[in-house]
Structure 1
Amino acid sequence: MSLSTLATEPIEALLPLASDETLVPLLDGRWVRYANLDGAASAPALASVAARIAEVTPWYSSVHRGAGYLSQVSTALYEEARRTIAAFVGARESDVAVITRNTTDAVNLLASAVPGRTLVLDVEHHANLLPWQRSPHGVTVVTGEATVTGTLARLEAELVGRPHALVALTGASNVTGESLPIDRVVALAHEHGARVFVDGAQLLPHRRFSLASTDVDYVAFSGHKLYAPYGAGALVGRRDWLDEAPAYLAGGGSVQRVTVQEATWSPAPARHEGGTPNLLGALAIASACEALTALDPVVWEEHEQALRQRLVAGLAEIPEVTIATLWEDSAPPVGVVTFTVEGADAGLVATYLSAEHGIGVRDGKFCAHPLVTRLGLVEGALRASVGLGTGSEDVDRLLAGLRAFLAARAAGELEQRYRLADGLWGLAEDPRPLPRIAGLAELARTASSCRG
């Protein structure tokens, strides 16, 4: 499909979202359908996921705790969800799936179990960097090269030079959408006696993945990026380290026997799931896994690539826009595009797109400070992400919004409408009404270490 065709041919969303009919107010008084291009941060729920939660909520009860009928139903649903989640990532028969709060929680759990030094790249999201920095066994952080080939050579040199227990890498960068070839990393790591962990938070909402077929040892992901934002995630992989590790969250459900002096801990997954588990979160992820598994993987990838190419082609036609790239020889990225607008604060652009065009994008450093620093984005950037619920209208509205921003800036109109306070951009006067939601007194304006 040519770029000229992409510019004119409409592209419909692949799956319906629970938020498809959500309207947001604009500065000029109009209400428009929200164009959510921020799924790389948190994706809205699939309509089927929201329906599943509504279906099972009346049956909610304690899990692994009671003989009551609803408790038995809830326990059965929870364990079936675990099996569905494991199957979604191609778990081997001997693998274990632990339900966590999110990817960050899953990485911290794995970090508590790794019996040796970990090797990571500087391209990682903080969730796949900070836990390893705290490891008592130490961490090696490799600065990537400008090419995939050069970066792999750096990884190999470190593996040859010092023993490592684990290589931890992103399945897809949350900044550029690019990735290293997982099969080559696995081959290098296993050759030198290291296991491989893949942070699948950005990969799994965009591509099929299998532990068994890739020979990856562990994978983690979050429901809130997989169109199931109900507060759960998962760590799936080899059992031995997780069975031998200290209980990650000590409490009820993680033990077999307790005295006032000691405890006999259960094996994984119960060992690391102390307390009442998030039944609805696990069911939401399982429902999303089923929906994504039912998709034709070729159609899925073609849909996303068509949208991404449409976006990249449109951005390339705006002289003031520069797209960030990590490796000049990488495979086609997933649906994540980070860019800057010459002479414009990313926070101002994002605020303008929201207030005047009903578009949601991310601005800042994307919880990947070492990478954005290496890419020269020290002042932050903008990120747009496309996915299953995105259509060409969303992409076209973003491109039109960016052109309108540049026209308004040239006309000197922005100074009258926007102001900077405490490091955050906002409207000088905001006449937009709040949605009728209980407990919402005002729109939030809070600083974030990942935004700033």
Structure 2
Amino acid sequence: MNTTLTPVTTLPWAAEPLPWTGPGRPATRPLDVLGVPGQINLDYAATAPCASVAADAVTELLPWYASVHRGAGQLSRRCTLAYERAREEVADFLGARADDHVIFTRNTTDALNLLAHALPAASTVVTFASEHHANLLPWPSAAVRLPVPASPGAAVRALDAALRELRRGTDPGRPVLVAVTGAGNVTGERWPVAALARVAHRHGARIALDAAQLAPHAPVDIAALGVDYVAVSGHKLYAPFGTGVLVGRGDWLDAAPPYLSGGGASAYVGPATHQVRWATGPARHEAGTPNLLGAVALGAVCAALGAADRAALHDDEQALLARLRAGLAALPGVEELRLFDAAEPRVGIVSFVVAGRESATVAAELATAHGIGVRDGLFCAHPLTRRLIAEAAARRGWRNPPATALRASIGLGSTVEHVDRLLTALAGR
């Protein structure tokens, strides 16, 4: 991690150094990330680099690697303890309530599919058309999809109106789930989660939060936000060992059949095929040998981030994000994608289009000529990204906008040099 940062003063957007640049400033980031010398990774929103604490935790445990919940030997007992300790670390990091289930999954998509599987019969799901595919596609076909809102306030009002209409003349006890994102993966814009939760609960609905993009950048407290379920991905939280988590209320999860049937999910199996008593709690949906190393890596990162000064990390990232956005705005023929007003709060994600250039071509040139990795495409949010590209083109009067966009995203380990090298490369395109 570079803590001695010197801005590129020859660029118009780098004339004033950031207050945290220069030699002698003590490190404020508690988490180093791994990387390859000469390669600049600005694709954190897709997959964040591995935190050293995650790698260290896995390396320490590997000699002890054995079964979890399935052995009496010292190796198995240590691995079981490590797995359950990781569950506690994730619960603490996300502010889980005492009776919440913490279920390890593969990623956010898997976690939301698990929740969709556990919905009570006749449930109605309400979400927004601006969601990532992971929060659009798993839900029943009869789900209510609200239009893309123009502001955080509009999102709250739209949800309130939709739930009021949905409850009109129907059974007040009918299960309703609202599914929303905490921060958009296309624009990085933050959503008013606590306000949406209050509206949902006022109408007797539950709310699930896709925190895949929010949790790496800002604290997520289930109890404080008032949400019922939260889904996150380890690979976006600096723990790239193939795990995710669903945290939330246990009644729906315990009433649903196991997400996967098999060992670990069953408390008793009789001689007849129908004689099965399923476990309750997280084990009900964690059949088979669990991803021990993924859980331990995620737990280690959660513990390290939980002990860090999140306010300082936020301030550092926001300064870097402001530099990136200002630099892009200063480039002719570049337009940022946005859903809300440009001043609305956001995390370290910026998507943009370049006039007259295909995004895939630009991304390839950045990689091959400059060693810079960004994302190009529609970011697993096809309806939203296509709309935002069209709106960006309309703002600039472009007749033939590119079909896809570019996305630069930052996090732990990102520096002024990384941002300035991207801006310099785009300026010379």
- TM-score, normalized by the shorter chain, greater than 0.5: yes
Q: Displacement of 1:330 after TM fit?
A: 6.5
Q: Displacement of 1:155 after TM fit?
A: 1.4
**Structure 2 partner of 1:320:** 333
Q: Distance in 2 between matches of 1:384 and 1:156?
A: 34
Q: Distance in 1 between matches of 2:114 and 2:414?
A: 33
**Structure 1 partner of 2:40:** 35
Q: Distance in 2 between matches of 1:6 and 1:167?
A: 43
Q: Displacement of 1:269 after TM fit?
A: 0.3
**Structure 2 partner of 1:86:** 91
Deviation larger for 341-350 or 329-338? 329-338
Q: Do structure 1's residue 393 and structure 2's residue 397 form an aligned pair?
A: no
Map 1:359-378 to 2 at 5 A.
359-376=372-389
Q: Distance in 2 between matches of 1:275 and 1:399?
A: 47
The answer (yes or no) to whether the contact 2:91–2:102 under 8 Å persists in 1 is yes
Matched letter for residue 228 of structure 2: D
Q: Distance in 1 between matches of 2:342 and 2:419?
A: 26
Count of residues in correspondence between the two structures:
391
The unaligned stretches of length 5 or more in structure 2 are: 1-12, 168-174, 391-401
* 2:139 aligned counterpart, secondary structure: helix
Q: Do structure 1's residue 168 and structure 2's residue 173 form an aligned pair?
A: no
**What TM-score comes out, normalization by structure 2 length?**
0.88
Q: Distance in 1 between matches of 2:156 and 2:17?
A: 34
Q: Do structure 1's residue 71 and structure 2's residue 76 form an aligned pair?
A: yes
**Structure 1 partner of 2:257:** 246
Q: Do structure 1's residue 342 and structure 2's residue 347 form an aligned pair?
A: no
Q: Do structure 1's residue 131 and structure 2's residue 142 form an aligned pair?
A: no
Aligned in 2, Cα 1:298/1:3: closer, same or farther, shift over 3 Å?
A: farther
* 1:158 aligned counterpart, secondary structure: helix
Q: Displacement of 1:127 after TM fit?
A: 0.6
Q: Distance in 1 between matches of 2:427 and 2:140?
A: 42
Q: Do structure 1's residue 107 and structure 2's residue 122 form an aligned pair?
A: no
**Structure 2 partner of 1:435:** none
The percentage of counterpart residues that share the same residue type is 48
Q: Distance in 2 between matches of 1:301 and 1:106?
A: 27
**Structure 2 partner of 1:151:** 155
Aligned in 2, Cα 1:108/1:124: closer, same or farther, shift over 3 Å?
A: same
State the Cα deviation string for residues 273-316 of structure 1 (Å, max 9, x = none): 00000000000000110111121121011011001000001111
Matched letter for residue 14 of structure 1: R
Q: Displacement of 1:18 after TM fit?
A: 4.5
Which of these residues, 248, 268, 271, is aligned with residue 284 of structure 2? 271
The answer (yes or no) to whether the contact 1:15–1:388 under 8 Å persists in 2 is no
Q: Do structure 1's residue 119 and structure 2's residue 135 form an aligned pair?
A: no
State the Cα deviation string for residues 364-395 of structure 1 (Å, max 9, x = none): 00000111122135711000001111111110
Aligned in 2, Cα 1:314/1:339: closer, same or farther, shift over 3 Å?
A: same
Aligned in 2, Cα 1:373/1:206: closer, same or farther, shift over 3 Å?
A: same
Aligned in 2, Cα 1:216/1:232: closer, same or farther, shift over 3 Å?
A: same
Which of these residues, 223, 230, 234, is aligned with residue 245 of structure 2? 234
**What TM-score comes out, normalization by structure 1 length?**
0.83
State the Cα deviation string for residues 10-34 of structure 1 (Å, max 9, x = none): 38883554433x13xxxxxxxxx21
Map 1:387-426 to 2 at 5 A.
387-405=411-429
Which of these residues, 197, 200, 206, is aligned with residue 195 of structure 1? 206
**Structure 2 partner of 1:432:** none
State the Cα deviation string for residues 302-357 of structure 1 (Å, max 9, x = none): 01100100000111110111001101277310000000111100000000000010
Aligned in 2, Cα 1:119/1:54: closer, same or farther, shift over 3 Å?
A: same
The answer (yes or no) to whether the contact 2:32–2:52 under 8 Å persists in 1 is yes
The unaligned stretches of length 5 or more in structure 1 are: 24-32, 406-452
Q: Displacement of 1:3 after TM fit?
A: 8.0
Q: Displacement of 1:183 after TM fit?
A: 1.3
Aligned in 2, Cα 1:124/1:49: closer, same or farther, shift over 3 Å?
A: same
Q: Distance in 2 between matches of 1:133 and 1:319?
A: 44
* 1:311 aligned counterpart, secondary structure: helix
Q: CA RMSD in A?
A: 1.8
Q: Distance in 2 between matches of 1:312 and 1:189?
A: 34
The answer (yes or no) to whether the contact 1:178–1:333 under 8 Å persists in 2 is yes
The answer (yes or no) to whether the contact 1:199–1:220 under 8 Å persists in 2 is yes
**Structure 1 partner of 2:171:** none
The answer (yes or no) to whether the contact 1:3–1:313 under 8 Å persists in 2 is no
Q: Distance in 2 between matches of 1:330 and 1:404?
A: 28
The answer (yes or no) to whether the contact 1:17–1:44 under 8 Å persists in 2 is no
